[in-house]
């Protein structure tokens, strides 16, 4: 079961990169960003210690009459100072500065004032517990439900739960400075309010941030506000954590054991060739050890450690020998990995990865961006995600020879966009000169117009898209928005996202010099400015040669997806490296959304299911 603590969870909500690193290895502590240096040191930990010490004294069950008689700020402060604070504050003068010590003392005084007020407003004061319900207590492993029915256990230690005269029962967090990110404070409050509600069913908790700066500033939040923060900001992160945990537990057994495991794409049991590979290499005097085995939809990957003094080149040069010895139907792909050698044995009959199953995975459903896409699954059965709203993946160039799986890939991308958006927020422009890819979609609310088939129409459509983009800029500027997504998030749907999908643009480029120049000019403008205006390009070609995929086009379309191509030159043109000529076809691809290509298998959606997505949106 996935477990996380409150500090980590709030950090994950504001920094998805941090979350990714934590998910990769929760055992290795991922450092939290530090509060920026500068200003007076605020000694928050000491403040918490001293306050907790006093509360402990006040709240003992048989508290003495003088303790119960404390009423004013001065009386409470005198006790706190004499019993706990004096020595610490004086030590601060020596170890830090008089300013820091004064800041702490003032903050503590403000807290005493707050306590006196709580007491004064407590109708039937019998003990300090009537005002301070609990203080610095552990909430251990509170199970919070996630969308797919699983749970994530969250642990933490709220500062205090109090009865506030105005706000009712409140979970309180003390802060000695507002820091650089008030959002984190609110997230923490929302998480604690939800944990308390689960731990104490029947009670509702509002929240209060008490900023001692050093004077007290209260930031109250109602239960409804905290609920909304939790639902919008925290729940998707918990869904993602639970989804990841589920995936990892499946993967673990695939990687370490050699047991049959049912993954979402349901592999047929492939023989384990681990020992055979070792024996075969040994027979050529190349000692190796197979360290692991991962079964992907299109191949089985073995991770090999070469014996001492055995070079990678030796393993690679024996690939053909291994094919013969092991009776494989294709030569294994031998590639360098980090700390091991990758030995990919392609399956004779690759498994199909069904779109319908994969798009339900939490990594995608919990993704905040409406234009997040699943390109496919990687070797480790993780979804390969790409977000059109992200500048690194805002526009895509797809290449692959005939039969490599471009049309199916385009269909799965369109299906994901349609599944995750309504026609009011997403408009598709489909250009399909081959007539087949999007054949069957008739007039539809998701489409900007009929599916375009001829070259002149396609060029005219790109012209209009540029005009549309310029108009959008003017509107965004007038309304003070920097990106269309923010406008849509505010509920304004008169300008939806617009995704232009062009299957086979080579014919257009090859129809004449002028057309080619114009196509390049228009795609350049759309790709340079489109993202902020919510206009995105996904264009595909069967002929990724240098005349079609020009340097300029490549530079303008940051995301590249290369399916099987006929030769290493085509792979080089698209990805800047060879390799895609060895892919299997049927949706086996290398995607480049970052620095190194990732191998994946695209998702398959049967035509009937694809058309059904559009069926009721005429
Ligand atoms: N992800 C996938 N899973 C299973 N089968 C696939 C997948 N992608 C493609 N295929 C199969 O591979 C074959 C070729 O696919 P597709 O028609 O998409 O290729 P293409 O690159 O568009 O070819 P062309 O350019 O000639 O139209 C089809 O039979 C298709 O069903």
ipTM of the complex, rounded to two decimals: 0.98
For the chain, what are the domain ranges?
Answer: 1-28+137-255, 35-128, 276-346, 355-439+447-554+601-610
What sign has the CA pseudo-torsion 168, 170, 174, 179?
Answer: negative
3-class DSSP state for residue 609?
helix
CA of 257 to the centre of ligand 1 (A): 33
User: Across all residues in the chain, what is the average pLDDT?
Assistant: 87
Q: What is the mean pLDDT of residues 105-118?
A: 94
Residue 406 beta carbon below 6 angstroms from any ligand 1 atom: yes
Residue 541 beta carbon below 6 angstroms from any ligand 1 atom: no
The burial of 304, by beta-carbon neighbours within 10 Å (0-12 exposed, 13-18 middle, 19 or more buried), is given as buried
Q: Which of 352, 403, 603 best tests ligand 1's pocket when mutated (most atoms within 8 Å of CB)?
A: 403
Q: How confident is the model at residue 37, as a pLDDT?
A: 46
Residue 407 beta carbon below 6 angstroms from any ligand 1 atom: yes
**Closest to 29 measured CA to CA, from 49, 51, 11:** 11
CA of 501 to the centre of ligand 1 (A): 17
Cβ atoms of 4 and 154 within 8 Å: the answer is: yes
- The answer to whether 585 is annotated as binding is no
Q: Which of 267, 377, 408 best tests ligand 1's pocket when mutated (most atoms within 8 Å of CB)?
A: 408
CA of 585 to the centre of ligand 1 (A): 8
Domain 276-346 sits in CATH at 3.30.980.40
**Closest to 400 measured CA to CA, from 566, 252, 558:** 566
- The answer to whether 250 is annotated as binding is no
- The answer to whether 406 is annotated as binding is yes
- The pTM for the full model equals 0.59
The residue contributing the CA closest to ligand 1 atom 12 is: 586
Residue 355 beta carbon below 6 angstroms from any ligand 1 atom: no
Q: What is the mean pLDDT of residues 341-368?
A: 89
CA of 404 to the centre of ligand 1 (A): 6
**Closest to 345 measured CA to CA, from 379, 391, 314, 377:** 379
Distance CA 231, CA 111 (A): 31
Residue 566 beta carbon below 6 angstroms from any ligand 1 atom: no
pLDDT tens readout for residues 310-351 = 999 999 999 999 999 999 988 888 888 878 999 999 888 888
**Residue 35: band (very low, low, confident or very high) from pLDDT cuts 50, 70, 90:** very low
Cβ atoms of 208 and 172 within 8 Å: the answer is: yes
Cβ atoms of 353 and 603 within 8 Å: the answer is: yes
> Strand 426-431 vs strand 497-503: parallel, antiparallel, or unpaired?
parallel
- The answer to whether 155 is annotated as binding is no
- The answer to whether 412 is annotated as binding is no
Residue 571 beta carbon below 6 angstroms from any ligand 1 atom: no
CA of 355 to the centre of ligand 1 (A): 14
- Side by side, the strands of the sheet bearing 2-5 are 2-5, 151-156, 139-145
Residue 408 beta carbon below 6 angstroms from any ligand 1 atom: yes
Percent over 70 (pLDDT), the chain: 93
- pLDDT of residue 264 exceeding 80, the answer is no
Residue 602 beta carbon below 6 angstroms from any ligand 1 atom: yes
pLDDT tens readout for residues 373-432 = 999 999 888 899 999 999 999 999 999 998 899 999 999 999 999 999 999 999 999 998
Residue 162 beta carbon below 6 angstroms from any ligand 1 atom: no
**Residue 262: band (very low, low, confident or very high) from pLDDT cuts 50, 70, 90:** very low
Cβ atoms of 510 and 548 within 8 Å: the answer is: yes
Distance CA 145, CA 11 (A): 20
Distance CA 206, CA 609 (A): 46
Domain 355-439+447-554+601-610 sits in CATH at 3.40.50.300
pLDDT tens readout for residues 40-83 = 677 888 999 999 999 988 988 788 899 999 999 999 999 999 99
CA of 401 to the centre of ligand 1 (A): 10
Residue 401 beta carbon below 6 angstroms from any ligand 1 atom: no
Q: How confident is the model at residue 265, as a pLDDT?
A: 59
The ligand 1 atom at the shortest distance from the C-alpha of residue 504 is 25
Residue 403 beta carbon below 6 angstroms from any ligand 1 atom: yes
Residue 587 beta carbon below 6 angstroms from any ligand 1 atom: yes
CA of 554 to the centre of ligand 1 (A): 24
The ligand 1 atom at the shortest distance from the C-alpha of residue 412 is 1
Between these two residues, 454 and 527, which has the higher pLDDT value?
527
- The answer to whether 403 is annotated as binding is yes
Q: Residue 511 corresponds to which tokens in the numbers above?
A: 């129809």
Beta bridge partners of 562: 399, 590
CA of 425 to the centre of ligand 1 (A): 29
Q: How confident is the model at residue 261, as a pLDDT?
A: 37
CA of 198 to the centre of ligand 1 (A): 49
**Residue 31: band (very low, low, confident or very high) from pLDDT cuts 50, 70, 90:** low
């Amino acid at each position: 079961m996935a477990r996380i603590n409150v500090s980590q969870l709030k950090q994950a909500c504001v920094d998805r990169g941090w979350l990714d690193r934590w998910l990769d290895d929760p055992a290795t502590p991922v450092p939290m960003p530090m509060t920026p240096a500068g200003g007076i040191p605020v000694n928050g930990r000491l403040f918490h210690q001293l306050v907790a010490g006093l509360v402990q004294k006040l709240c003992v069950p048989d508290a003495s009459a003088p303790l119960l008689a404390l009423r004013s700020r001065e009386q409470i402060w005198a006790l706190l100072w004499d019993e706990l604070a004096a020595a610490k504050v004086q030590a601060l003068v020596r170890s830090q500065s008089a300013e820091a010590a004064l800041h702490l003392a003032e903050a503590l005084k403000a807290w005493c004032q707050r306590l006196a007020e709580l007491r004064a407003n407590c109708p039937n004061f019998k003990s300090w517990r009537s005002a301070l319900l609990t203080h610095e207590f552990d909430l251990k492993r509170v199970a919070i439900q996630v969308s797919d029915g699983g749970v994530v256990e969250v642990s933490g230690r709220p500062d205090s739960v109090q009865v506030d005269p105005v706000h009712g029962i409140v979970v309180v967090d003390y802060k000695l400075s507002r820091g650089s990110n008030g959002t984190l404070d609110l997230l923490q409050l929302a998480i604690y309010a939800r944990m308390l509600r689960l731990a104490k069913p029947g009670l509702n908790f509002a929240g209060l941030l008490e900023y001692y700066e050093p004077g007290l500033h209260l930031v109250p939040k109602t239960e409804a506000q905290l609920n909304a923060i939790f639902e919008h900001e925290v729940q998707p992160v918990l869904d993602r954590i639970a989804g990841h945990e589920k995936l990892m537990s499946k993967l673990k057994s695939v990687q370490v054991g050699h047991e049959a495991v049912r993954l979402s794409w349901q592999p047929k049991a492939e023989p384990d060739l681990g020992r055979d590979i070792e024996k075969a290499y040994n027979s050529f005097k190349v000692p190796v050890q197979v360290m692991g085995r991962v079964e992907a939809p299109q191949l089985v990957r073995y991770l090999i450690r070469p014996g001492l003094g055995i070079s990678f080149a030796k393993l690679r040069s024996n690939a053909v020998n291994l094919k013969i010895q092991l009776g494989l139907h294709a030569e294994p792909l031998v590639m360098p990995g980090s700390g091991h050698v990758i030995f990919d044995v392609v399956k004779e009959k690759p498994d199909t990865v069904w779109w319908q199953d994969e798009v339900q995975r939490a990594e995608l459903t919990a993704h905040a961006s409406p234009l997040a896409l699943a390109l496919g699954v990687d070797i480790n059965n993780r979804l390969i995600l790409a977000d059109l709203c992200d500048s690194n993946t805002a526009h895509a160039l797809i290449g692959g020879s005939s039969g490599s799986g471009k049309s199916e890939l385009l269909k799965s991308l369109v299906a994901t966009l349609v599944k995750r958006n309504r026609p009011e927020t997403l408009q598709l422009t489909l250009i399909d000169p081959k007539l087949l890819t999007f054949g069957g979609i008739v007039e539809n609310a998701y489409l900007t117009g009929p599916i375009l088939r001829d070259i002149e129409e396609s060029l005219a459509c790109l012209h209009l898209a540029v005009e549309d983009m310029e108009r959008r800029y003017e509107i965004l500027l007038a309304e003070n928005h920097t990106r269309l997504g923010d406008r849509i998030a505010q509920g304004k749907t008169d300008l939806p996202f617009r995704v232009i999908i062009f299957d086979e643009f080579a014919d257009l480029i090859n129809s004449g010099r002028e057309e080619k120049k114009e196509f390049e000019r228009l795609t350049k403008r759309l790709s340079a400015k489109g993202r902020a205006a919510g206009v995105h390009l996904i264009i595909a070609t069967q002929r990724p040669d240098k005349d079609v995929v020009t340097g300029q086009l490549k530079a303008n379309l940051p995301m590249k997806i290369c399916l099987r191509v006929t030769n290493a030159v085509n792979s080089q043109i698209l990805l800047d490296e060879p390799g895609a000529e060895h892919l299997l076809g049927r949706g086996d691809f290398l995607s480049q959304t970052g620095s190194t290509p990732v191998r994946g298998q695209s998702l398959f959606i049967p035509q009937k299911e694809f058309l059904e997505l559009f069926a009721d949106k005429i």
